């Protein structure tokens, strides 16, 4: 995994119509991207997989589609106006802006990489007899490095908790951290930067008209908690799920669609009885990693990272990190948010946001366990893990996107062998059979080998070839993207065979 792979992903995504830079004819807008014809399909399929898993497969979870604009008091209550900040630092020589916490995390990452190297070397030396846990707990050099990491974490955590930005700057200086681009150590002081985008309501001028673009979809769920609970007659525990845009004025938005200022979240807030949150937190950690693993991108591509620095609202939090081309980074968060948000909204709105338990006749403010995944990050995870270049037996190479079949933008390509003899007509008949259920592409141009390569490059799991025999035996050839094997299938079996390979239901069978 490397920067190289990220570059390849970006150029592949552009060449085949997955992702374009936004407003490219004006040279683009930094960190804004448009999803092209295949990108829109992949994104929809990811949403569909998430929505099916969360809403359809749980009879106590329902969906919501709240507006992006909300009453500004929402953000006072949620803490975003006062505390949704990142510590910012500028380099005076390069005029580049960085997040102080990210500079420190990257420094820790470098020490971790050295430990990994030591481990890899020892593994090579000791072979099968190597006990990694023992090595890590006894090797002097590794222990020194681990201690450095622990010390940095302790200093950073206490500086952030005390909101002591001078101490954060001191830590950057003590660690001798340089501008990653230029090597300069000439830093400004660290200061807080609020990440919410502000705009104004049409008819109202001045401060009273200020309105924010939501920085997370979760608050739309909290303010509707009672609306949904009452109108849907929901009983605790229950969840509300939502997919929608969120906006953050990120200090640095880089690494393609990993960090953008406008992005999409898939969030679910699960309302539970106070005291049961730890068990639901464990449940959702497990359920979410299962959802990821069912895609078959490789279990070693994920890891949990439990937070040491908890957000103001959380009593436990963990990230599911994915091995992106830039290394392991946050893909999804599972957070035990306590009753913080509902309490805050009660206090700021003067409306009761309580659940009345008909069995115990008690009324209480529920606790919340949240799962929150970035759709764009999930898209990048899928695309970067899928992109592969393979050398075939005959020595030729092919570029193949091994996107999990149920997520693939085009599920089936219909390829008449020739452009004549009634083959195109037959091919279009077959296309009509499949197109209600799947996104299907028709292609009659060029030799069949080239058509296969084009479909491999966009990740189409199945190619159906219609040949002269089809007209006689009423069967077609299905070629599999991953194995490149071909099988003959009767046309009247086709709907079932295709569904058995590419429908979203396959992902639930696997888990």
SS3 404: coil
CB count in 10 Å sphere of residue 462: 23
Residue pair 341/219 in contact (Cβ under 8 Å)? The answer is yes
Residue with Cβ nearer ligand ATP (271 or 324) = 324
Among 251, 294, 373, 504, binds ligand ATP (CB under 6 A): 373
Selected range binding ligand ATP among 228-236, 298-306, 329-337, 395-403, rule: CB under 6 A? 329-337
Segment interacting with ligand ATP, rule: CB under 6 A, options 147-155, 325-333, 430-438, 483-491: 325-333
Left, alpha or beta for 217 (phi > 0: left; psi -120 to 50: alpha)? Answer: alpha
The reply to whether 370 sits near ligand ATP by the rule CB under 6 A is: no
Based on CB atoms, which residue is closest to ligand ATP, 179 or 332? Answer: 332
Nearer to ligand ATP, 248 or 288 (CB): 248
| DSSP letters spanning 26-78 | GT--TT-EEE-HHHHHHHHHHHHHHHIIIIIT-TTEEEE---SB--THHHHHH
Least Å from the CB of residue 250 to ligand ATP: 5
Specify the stretch interacting with ligand ATP by CB under 6 A; choose among 108-116, 201-209, 222-230, 374-382: 374-382
The reply on whether position 107 binds ligand ATP by CB under 6 A is: no
| Shortest reach from residue 263's CB to ligand ATP, in Å | 4
Nearer to ligand ATP, 78 or 91 (CB): 78
**Looking at beta carbons only, is 268 or 414 nearer to ligand ATP?**
268
- State how far the Cα of 23 lies from the Cα of 327, in Å rounded to an integer: 29
Binders of ligand ATP among residues 376 to 395 (CB under 6 A) are: 376-377
Does the protein bind ligand ATP through residue 248 (CB under 6 A)? yes
The overall longest dimension of the chain from CA atoms, in Å, is 81
Between CA 179 and CA 198 the distance in angstroms is: 30
Tally the C-alpha atoms within 13 A of residue 187's C-alpha that lie toward its C-beta.
26
Which position among 259, 285, 288, 411 is part of the footprint of ligand ATP (CB under 6 A)? 259
Q: Which is nearer to ligand ATP, 41 or 332 (CB)?
A: 332
- CB nearer to ligand ATP: pick between 118 and 330: 330
Interface with ligand ATP, residue 315, by CB under 6 A: no
User: Which H/E stretch holds residue 84?
Assistant: none
Whichever of 92 and 309 has its CB closer to ligand ATP, that residue is 309
Q: Is 285 in the site for ligand ATP (CB under 6 A)?
A: no
Which of the ranges 260-268, 395-403, 448-456, 494-502 carries the binding residues for ligand ATP, by CB under 6 A? 260-268
260 binds ligand ATP (CB under 6 A): yes
Q: Segment contacting ligand ATP (CB under 6 A): 18-26, 291-299, 370-378, 382-390?
A: 370-378
- Piece of 34-42, 141-149, 255-263, 407-415 that binds ligand ATP (CB under 6 A): 255-263
Q: Tokens for 176, please give them.
A: 């001798």
- The number of C-alpha atoms within 13 Å of 351 and in the hemisphere containing its C-beta is 12
Span near ligand ATP by CB under 6 A; candidates 104-112, 124-132, 328-336, 351-359: 328-336
- Smallest Cα–Cα separation from 315: which of 339, 281, 285, 338? 338
- Cβ–Cβ < 8 Å for 477, 467: yes
Of the candidates 21, 220, 237, 333, which one interacts with ligand ATP according to CB under 6 A?
333
The SS3 call for residue 365 is coil
The answer to whether 476 and 488 are in contact (CB under 8 A) is yes
The per-residue b/e assignment along 376-411, b for 16 or more CB within 10 angstroms, e otherwise, is bbbbbbbbbbbbeeeeeeeeeeeebbbbbbbbbbbb
Identify which of residues 214 and 377 has a Cβ nearer to ligand ATP in the complex: 377
Q: Give Cβ neighbours of residue 294 (< 8 Å, ≥ 6 apart).
A: 507, 508, 510, 511
The nearest distance, CB 156 to ligand ATP, in angstroms, is 14
DSSP 19: E
Of the two residues 373 and 427, which places its CB atom closer to ligand ATP in the complex? Answer: 373
Are 266 and 48 spatial neighbours (Cβ–Cβ below 8 Å)?
A: no
Of 93 and 306, which CB lies nearer to ligand ATP in the complex structure?
306
Rounded to whole angstroms, the Cα distance separating 295 from 320 reads: 15
| x-marked contacts with ligand ATP along 198-237 as a string, rule CB under 6 A | ------------------x---------------------
Residue 47 CB, nearest approach to ligand ATP (Å):
14
Least distance (Å) between residue 33 CB and ligand ATP: 10
Cβ atoms of residues 276 and 367 within 8 Å: yes
User: Could you tell me which residues are beta bridge partners of residue 87?
Assistant: 192
Under the criterion CB under 6 A, does residue 426 sit at the interface with ligand ATP?
no
Q: Taking the complex as a whole, how short is the minimal distance between the CB of residue 329 and ligand ATP, in angstroms?
A: 7
Q: Please report, as residue ranges, which positions from 50 to 79 form the binding site for ligand ATP (by CB under 6 A).
A: none
Chain position whose Cβ is nearest to ligand ATP: 374
Query: Is 265 among the residues that bind ligand ATP (CB under 6 A)?
Result: yes
Cα–Cα distance for residue pair 48/438, rounded to 1 Å: 13
Number of alpha carbons in the 13 Å side-chain half-sphere of residue 24: 8
Q: Is 253 within 8 Å of 101 (Cβ atoms)?
A: no
Q: How many residues bind ligand ATP (CB under 6 A)?
A: 16
Q: Find the Cα–Cα–Cα–Cα dihedral 183, 187, 192, 197, rounded to 10°.
A: -60
Rounded to the nearest angstrom, the gap between the alpha carbon of residue 445 and the centroid of all alpha carbons in its chain is 36
Q: Where on the chain is the footprint of ligand ATP (CB under 6 A)?
A: 216, 248, 250, 259-260, 263, 265, 330-333, 372-374, 376-377
């Amino acid at each position: 995994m490397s920067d190289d792979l990220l570059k390849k992903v970006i150029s592949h995504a552009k060449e085949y119509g997955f992702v374009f830079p936004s407003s490219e004819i004006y040279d683009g807008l930094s960190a804004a991207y448009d999803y092209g014809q295949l990108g829109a399909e992949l994104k929809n399929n990811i949403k569909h997989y998430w929505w099916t898993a969360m809403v359809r497969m749980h009879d106590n979870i329902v969906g919501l589609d709240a507006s992006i604009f909300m009453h500004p008091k929402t953000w006072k209550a949620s803490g975003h106006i006062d505390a949704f900040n990142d510590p910012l630092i500028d380099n005076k020589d390069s005029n580049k802006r960085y997040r102080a916490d990210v500079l420190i995390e990257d420094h820790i990452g470098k020490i971790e990489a050295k430990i990994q190297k030591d481990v890899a070397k020892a593994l090579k030396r000791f072979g099968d007899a190597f006990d990694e846990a023992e090595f890590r707990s006894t090797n002097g050099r590794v222990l020194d490095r681990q201690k450095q990491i622990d010390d940095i974490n302790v200093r950073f955590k206490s500086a952030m908790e005390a909101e002591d930005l001078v101490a954060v700057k001191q830590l950057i200086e003590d660690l001798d951290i340089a501008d990653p681009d230029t090597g300069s150590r000439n830093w400004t002081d660290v200061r807080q930067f609020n990440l919410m985008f502000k705009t104004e309501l049409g008819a109202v001028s001045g401060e009273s008209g200020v309105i924010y673009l939501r920085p997370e979809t979760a608050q739309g769920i909290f303010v509707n908690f009672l609306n949904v609970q009452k109108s849907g007659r929901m009983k605790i525990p229950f969840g509300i799920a939502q997919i929608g845009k969120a906006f953050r004025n990120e200090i640095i938005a880089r690494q393609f669609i990993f960090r953008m200022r406008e992005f999409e979240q898939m969030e679910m807030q699960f309302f539970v009885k106070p005291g049961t949150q730890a068990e639901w937190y464990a449940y959702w950690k497990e359920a979410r990693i299962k959802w990821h693993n069912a895609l078959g991108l490789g279990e070693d591509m994920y890891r949990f990272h439990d937070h040491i620095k908890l957000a103001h609202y959380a009593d436990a939090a963990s990230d599911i990190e994915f091995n992106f081309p830039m290394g392991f980074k946050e893909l999804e968060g599972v957070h035990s948010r306590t009753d913080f948000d509902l309490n805050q909204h009660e206090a700021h709105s003067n409306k009761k946001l309580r659940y009345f338990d008909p069995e115990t006749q008690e009324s209480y403010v529920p606790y919340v366990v949240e799962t929150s995944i970035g759709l764009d990050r999930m898209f990048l995870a899928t695309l970067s893990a899928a992109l592969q270049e393979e050398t075939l037996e005959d020595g030729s190479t092919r570029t193949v996107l091994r996107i999990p079949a149920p997520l693939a933008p085009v599920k089936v390509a219909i390829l008449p062998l020739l452009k004549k003899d009634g083959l195109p007509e037959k091919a279009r008949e077959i296309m009509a059979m499949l197109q209600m259920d799947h996104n299907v592409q028709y292609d009659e141009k060029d030799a069949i080998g080239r058509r296969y390569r084009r479909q491999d490059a966009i990740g189409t799991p199945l190619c159906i070839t219609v040949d002269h025999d089809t007209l006689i035996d009423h069967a077609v050839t299905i070629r599999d993207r991953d194995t490149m094997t071909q099988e003959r299938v009767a046309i009247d079996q086709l709907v079932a065979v295709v569904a058995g390979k590419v429908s979203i239901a396959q992902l639930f069978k696997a888990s």
